[in-house]
Amino acid sequence: MHADADERRNLARRGPLRYLNLFRLILAGLFLVAGLELNLGADAPKVFNAAAFAYLAAVLALGFPDAARRFGIDRVITVQAVIDIAVLTVMMWASGGYRSGLPVLMMVVLAGAGLVAEGRMVLFYAALATVAVLAENVWRLVAGGRAADFLQVAFVCTAFFGIAITARFLALRAKANESLAVQRGEALVKQQAVNERIIRDMQDGVLVVDADGIVRQANPRAAELLGLMSVDGLRLRHIDEAFADVPACCAGPDGSLRRLGPAGKLLRCRAIGAHDEDPGAAGGETVLYLTDFEEIQTHIQQLKLAALGRLTASMAHEIRNPLSAVTQAAELLTEEKRGEVQLRLVRIINDNSRRIERMIRDVLALGRRDETLPEALPLASFAGGLIDEFALRGGAERAIFAIDIPDDATFAIDRAHMHQILDNLIANARRYCSGGPGSVRVLASVEPGGRTAVHVSDDGPGIAESDLPRMFEPFFTTHPKGTGLGLYISRELAEANGATLELRDNAPGAHFVLTGRSQP
């Protein structure tokens, strides 16, 4: 892994090094062809020309990629930098000192070396250039020539270090950004692979369509649903005429149901913009989602049949007990001559017959769950009238119920379904409450999003922890005379009206919440 990292780092440096070698080659040719015309080498023309030839030869020898592979890129960079500084120092001596402007070229060389070198070698190059310039100036002074101002030379040498360090920091920053870009690129490639796998294995068909109605991308499921081998590159209207107007074909937030494609399957088609929520936006791409609705219907039907089988089996078991009691009481009634015993047997028959009748009535109500006529029921008057039916015994019974419902609160639901739901909830609360004033509370509140919540709670012993998972199961009851269908049917009727019925906190008693829309 370290070898791979070193190889990637060397590859990243070869590009800048190639451009730096090209600059050296141009510079060596310029020195050789026009150096004397540029007033360089005036003090020693032969030395200048010799240095120019040597520089050109060194650039050509070390500039080939084979040199970096043979000697190592770090060694080549160091040798090139040392040669640059040595040749420019000799040329500076042959051209009259630092006033020739050659130290500026040293700064350029140091900047280039700082971009491709690593570690502390950049400071070594700057120190070598500083020593070379100072040595040339001292030699000129010792040899009897006119020495330059050492203060100005010091400024130049300080600039060597500043440029070298700045170039190194820029190189490190560029390297960090490059490394981050590589990491993000690898992460993006992995994410794209995951996304492609998810889309390819989706049960829904996915089509990406351009503004001209041509399929640019599609997963295999889309072609399968449409009854084609492949849909890539096809025009939508050639697949099905219903696709001629995509926004109309797949209108609505939940899409629309249509039979599409040569297969003629019933599909739910939903369209969204690839870059916005408007599938009809001009010039943009559109994403189509196709769902096999026939498969959904088959699955729903299987679930209904399975639920009906369980319900039928449970109902047969539940009816057997009261029916046995009725049959036994009827047989004893024909043999019994005492009037008080006959009355007790008749009462048993009547009680169990009513229990069977309630059970059948509840099951019939469950069968009519989809026949809904929702309306905006005024909750205050509706709940008040229902509680008045429970309070026919007088004022003491009426005081058990506490109502806190705003006068303008409404609930979008079928009136008969609401009556059955609240009747079940209030009856359960009345059965288990303490019987004191305000022990059954019926409240209503407005929830975010234009929804209304109806709370029915009591102060009774509450629901046992072990019974909580089974509260909404059919035929589960803790009351000896209950059918066990009240809460189950109440939740089914709530869902049929787009509402939810759930059990909230369980202290001190039970607390049920019915939540739904305020308006149909």
CATH number for the domain spanning 323: value is 1.10.287.130
Find the mean pLDDT for residues 116-129.
78
Residue 400 has pLDDT above 50, yes or no: yes
Q: How many residues does the chain have?
A: 520
Q: Is the pLDDT of residue 410 over 70?
A: yes
> Are residues 64 and 212 both part of a single domain?
no
Which parts of 202-291 fold into alpha helices (H)? Answer: 220-226, 236-239, 246-249
- Of 222-226, 299-303, 354-358, 472-476, give the range with the top mean pLDDT: 222-226
The residue-averaged pLDDT of 323-346 equals 69
Domain assignment present for residue 193? The answer is: no
At 314, the pLDDT band (50, 70, 90 cuts) reads: low
- CATH number of the domain where residue 244 is located: 3.30.450.20
Which amino acid does the sequence have at 202?
M
The strand pairing partners of 502, in sequence order, are 513
pLDDT-derived band at 1, boundaries 50, 70, 90: very low
pLDDT tens readout for residues 226-235:
888 888 888 8
Q: Residue 84: pLDDT above 50?
A: yes
The encoded tokens of residue 446 equal: 């407005």
Is residue 96 a part of any domain in this protein?
Answer: yes
Residue with tokens 């992995």: 190
Strands 410-414 and 451-458: unpaired
Q: Are residues 404 and 461 in the same domain?
A: yes
Confidence of residue 253 (pLDDT cuts 50, 70, 90): low
β-partners of residue 515 are 453, 500
In this structure, the answer to whether residues 104 and 56 fall within a common structural domain is: yes
Domain final residue pick, 277, 297, 317: 297
104 φ, ψ (degrees, to nearest 5)? -65, -40
Between 342 and 471, where is the model more confident? 471
**236 and 355 housed in the same domain:** no
Q: Which residue has the tokens 């009727």?
A: 493
Position 465 in a domain: yes
d(CA 273, CA 284): 7
Q: Please check whether residue 105 lies inside any domain of the structure.
A: yes
Quick one: 23 and 152 in the same domain?
yes
Confidence of residue 337 (pLDDT cuts 50, 70, 90): low
Could you tell me the pTM of the whole model? 0.41
Could you give the CA distance from residue 380 to residue 407 in angstroms, rounded to a whole number?
6
Decide which of 367, 384, 408 is a domain's last residue: 367
Residue 19 lies in a domain: yes
- Whether residue 96 is found in the same domain as residue 218: no
Question: Number of folded domains in the chain?
Answer: 4
Averaged pLDDT for residues 178-196: 82
Q: Based on the domain organization, do 285 and 139 belong to the same domain?
A: no
pLDDT at residue 324 greater than cutoff 80? no
Task: Indicate whether 292 belongs to any domain.
Answer: yes
What confidence score (pLDDT) does residue 304 get?
Answer: 63
Which tops the pLDDT comparison, 258 or 8? 258
Mean pLDDT of the chain: 76
Is 455 in the same domain as 360? Answer: no
CATH number at residue 398: 3.30.565.10
The rounded distance, in Å, linking the Cα atoms of 424 and 229 is 55
Whether residue 145 has pLDDT greater than 60 = no
Task: Find the mean pLDDT for residues 98-114.
Answer: 80
- Read off the pLDDT band of 47 (50, 70, 90): confident
pLDDT at 283 over 60: no
* Mean pLDDT in residue range 58-86: 77
In this predicted model, what pLDDT tens digit does every residue of 346-391 receive, in sequence order?
777 777 777 777 666 666 665 555 566 788 888 888 888 888 877 7
Residues 332 and 457 reside in one and the same domain? no
Q: Is residue 191 part of a domain?
A: no
Q: Indicate if the pLDDT at residue 407 is higher than 80.
A: yes
For 33, the token pair is: 């062809």
The boundaries of the domain holding residue 316 are 309-367
pLDDT of residue 79 exceeding 80 = yes
Tell me how far apart the alpha carbons of residues 109 and 87 are, in angstroms, rounded to a whole number.
12
Per-residue model confidence as pLDDT tens digits over 212-228: 888 888 888 888 888 88
pLDDT of 243 over the 80 cut: no
Domain match, 429 and 504 both: yes
Cis bond leading into 247, ω under 30°?
no
Q: Is 48 found in the same domain as 73?
A: yes
**Mean pLDDT, range 432-441, rounded to an integer:** 85
How far is Cα 482 from Cα 377, in angstroms, rounded to an integer?
29
Please identify, among 246, 273, 297, the residue that sits at the C-terminal boundary of a domain: 297
- Whether residue 198 is contained in a domain is answered as no
* 50 and 90 share one domain: yes
pLDDT digits (tens, 9 = 90+) for 4-36: 555 666 666 676 777 778 888 888 888 888 877
CA angle 64, 67, 70 (to 5 degrees): 150
Q: At which residue do the structure tokens 């005036």 appear?
A: 42
List of E strands, 293-429: 374-378, 401-404, 410-414
Question: Please, are residues 88 and 105 in contact by the beta-carbon 8 Å criterion?
Answer: yes
Alpha-carbon Rg of the chain, whole angstroms? 46
Q: At 257, which helix (H) or strand (E)?
A: strand 256-260
